[in-house]
A and B are shown apart, each in its own frame.
Chain A
Amino acid sequence: MSHSAPDPNEDHGSVYDGLLGTDTSQWAFGTDFEDPLAGVDTTVPADLDPAELAAYCLALGDDALVLSHRLSEWCSNAPDLEEDIALANIALDLLGQARLLLARAAAADPSVVPTLPDGSPVPVEDALAFFREAIDFRNVRLVEVANGDFAETIARLLLFATVRLAAFERLCAHRDPVLAAIAAKGVKELTYHRDYAGRWFLTLAQGTDESRRRLLDGLSATWPLYAELAAAYAAGAEVDVVLDQVFAVSGVDRPEVAPMAGRGHTEALSRMLAEMQVVARAHPEGLW
Chain B
Amino acid sequence: MIHPTKPRERGAAREGLALPRGPRKGNTAYALAASVTDPEMPMLTLEDLGVLRDVRESGREVVVTITPTYSGCPAMATMRDDLVHRLTDAGYAARVEVALSPAWSSDWITERGRQALRDHGLSAPGPAPRSGGPIPLTLMPTARAVACPQCGSDRTELTSEYGATACKALYRCSDCLEPFEHVKEI
Chain B residues 68 to 116 lying within 8 A of chain A, measured CB to CB, are 68, 70-78, 80-82, 84-85, 95-104
Distance (whole angstroms) from the CB of B114 to the closest CB of chain A: 19
Is B160 within 8 A of A82, CB to CB? yes
Is B166 within 8 A of A89, CB to CB? yes
Distance (whole angstroms) from the CB of B166 to the closest CB of chain A: 6
User: Hey, what's the 0/1 contact readout for B26-50 against A, CB within 8 Å counting as 1?
Assistant: 0000000000000000000000000
Total A residues in contact with B, Cβ cutoff 8 Å? 53
Is A192 within 8 A of B65, CB to CB? no
Is B137 within 8 A of A89, CB to CB? no
Is B98 within 8 A of A85, CB to CB? no
Report the nearest B residue to A182, measured CB to CB: B100
Is B163 within 8 A of A93, CB to CB? no
**Among B65, B101, B104, which residue has its beta carbon within 8 angstroms of that of A39?**
B65
User: Hey, what's the 0/1 contact readout for B108-130 against A, CB within 8 Å counting as 1?
Assistant: 00000000000000000000010
Is B166 within 8 A of A34, CB to CB? no
Distance (whole angstroms) from the CB of A71 to the closest CB of chain B: 12
Residues of B within 8 A of A90 (CB): 162
Total B residues in contact with A, Cβ cutoff 8 Å? 47
Residues of B within 8 A of A97 (CB): 71-72
- Interface flag for A43 (CB, 8 Å): no
Distance (whole angstroms) from the CB of B162 to the closest CB of chain A: 4
- Interface flag for B12 (CB, 8 Å): no
Is A178 within 8 A of B100, CB to CB? yes
Distance (whole angstroms) from the CB of A63 to the closest CB of chain B: 14
Is B98 within 8 A of A38, CB to CB? yes
Residues of B within 8 A of A249 (CB): 139
Report the nearest A residue to B163, measured CB to CB: A85
Give 20 A-B pairs besides A39-B96, A96-B72 with Cβ atoms closer than 8 angstroms.
Answer: A25-B84, A30-B80, A34-B80, A38-B97, A40-B99, A86-B160, A89-B163, A96-B68, A96-B70, A96-B71, A97-B72, A99-B71, A169-B135, A185-B68, A185-B100, A185-B103, A187-B131, A195-B138, A198-B139, A246-B139
Report 14 cross-chain contacts, Cβ distance below 8 Å, ordered by A residue. A25-B84, A35-B98, A39-B95, A39-B96, A89-B163, A96-B73, A97-B72, A184-B102, A188-B186, A189-B71, A194-B137, A195-B142, A196-B161, A198-B139
Chain B residues packing against A (C-beta within 8 Å): 63, 65, 68, 70-78, 80-82, 84-85, 95-104, 129, 131, 134-135, 137-142, 159-164, 166, 170, 184, 186
Chain A residues packing against B (C-beta within 8 Å): 25-26, 29-31, 34-40, 82, 85-86, 88-90, 92-97, 99-100, 165-166, 169, 177-178, 180-182, 184-189, 191-192, 194-196, 198-199, 202, 238, 242, 245-246, 249
